[in-house]
């Protein structure tokens, strides 16, 4: 308690607003009734309250509005910020779509072949160069289907994520096992 008392003693009090006290000369002037409606109470400080300030106590001097050029520049700055933010989101989404297309075969390679994670990333990166735009469109379709399930309060993801993974598995099966079958069908070269 002594700590707070010491702080209160050191802290300066705000200056007393003499302007409003000069207007109230006696206690009788604080509440006078008007003749039109006896229930209404008129306070001498009512002119300090205005309809524009929603009842907030303001000084008699009017607050100056900012110049129209400042308002215009502030609005342009806010719009520019939102445009840049939206552009950053779009660029991040495009980068994510490109990156996931390049590594879309990592999980199937890990499950199907006896190779490590780094090797599967390298192999997927190398194999996704062939017919890249076709893979990008398939990856986009898989992501759109998966996102559709998210919009149904995540319950639809129980059905849509397996569909997206099935698309990736079908592309993997088509691309990788077809190349393996060609290698197996060829007879060994005779010396």
CA atoms of 50 and 88, how far apart (whole Å) = 44
Using one digit for the tens of pLDDT, what is the confidence trace for 128-149? Answer: 998 899 999 999 998 888 888 8
Q: Does residue 15 carry a pLDDT above 80?
A: no
Strands (E), the chain: 32-33, 41-42
Which tokens is 147 given? 């996102």
CA atoms of 23 and 17, how far apart (whole Å) = 11
Q: Does residue 121 carry a pLDDT above 70?
A: yes
CA atoms of 104 and 121, how far apart (whole Å) = 9
Query: Which of 2-26 are b and which e, b meaning 16 or more Cβ less than 10 Å from the residue's Cβ?
Result: eeeeeeeeeeeeeeeeeeeeeeeee
Closest of 159, 106, 163, 101 to residue 130, by C-alpha: 101
Q: What are phi and psi of 150, to 5 degrees?
A: -70, -30
Task: Compute how many other C-beta atoms are within 10 angstroms of the C-beta atom of residue 142.
Answer: 22
| Stated length of the chain | 191
CA 18 from centroid of its chain's CA atoms: 49
* Contact by Cβ (8 Å): 57, 47: no
CA atoms of 164 and 160, how far apart (whole Å) = 6
- Put simply, whether the predicted model's pTM sits higher than 0.85 gets the answer no
3-state secondary structure of 154: coil
Using one digit for the tens of pLDDT, what is the confidence trace for 18-76? Answer: 545 555 544 445 555 444 454 555 555 555 554 455 555 555 566 778 788 999 999 99
């Amino acid at each position: 308690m002594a700590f707070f008392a010491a702080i209160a003693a050191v802290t300066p009090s705000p200056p007393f607003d003499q302007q409003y006290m000069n207007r109230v000369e006696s206690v009788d002037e604080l509440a006078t009734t008007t003749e039109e409606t006896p229930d209404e109470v008129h306070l001498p400080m009512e002119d300090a309250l205005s309809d524009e300030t929603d009842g907030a106590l303001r000084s008699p001097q009017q607050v100056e509005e900012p110049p129209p050029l400042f308002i215009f520049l502030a609005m342009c700055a806010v719009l520019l910020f939102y445009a840049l933010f939206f552009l950053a989101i779009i660029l991040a989404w495009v980068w994510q779509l490109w990156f996931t297309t390049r590594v879309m075969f990592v999980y199937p390679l890990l499950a199907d072949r006896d190779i490590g994670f780094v090797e599967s990333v390298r192999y997927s990166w190398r194999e996704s160069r062939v017919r890249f735009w076709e893979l990008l469109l398939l990856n986009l379709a898989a992501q759109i289907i998966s996102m559709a399930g998210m919009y149904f309060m995540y319950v639809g993801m129980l059905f849509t994520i397996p569909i997206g993974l099935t698309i990736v598995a079908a592309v993997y099966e088509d691309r990788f096992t077809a190349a393996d079958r060609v290698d197996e069908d060829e007879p060994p070269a005779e010396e």
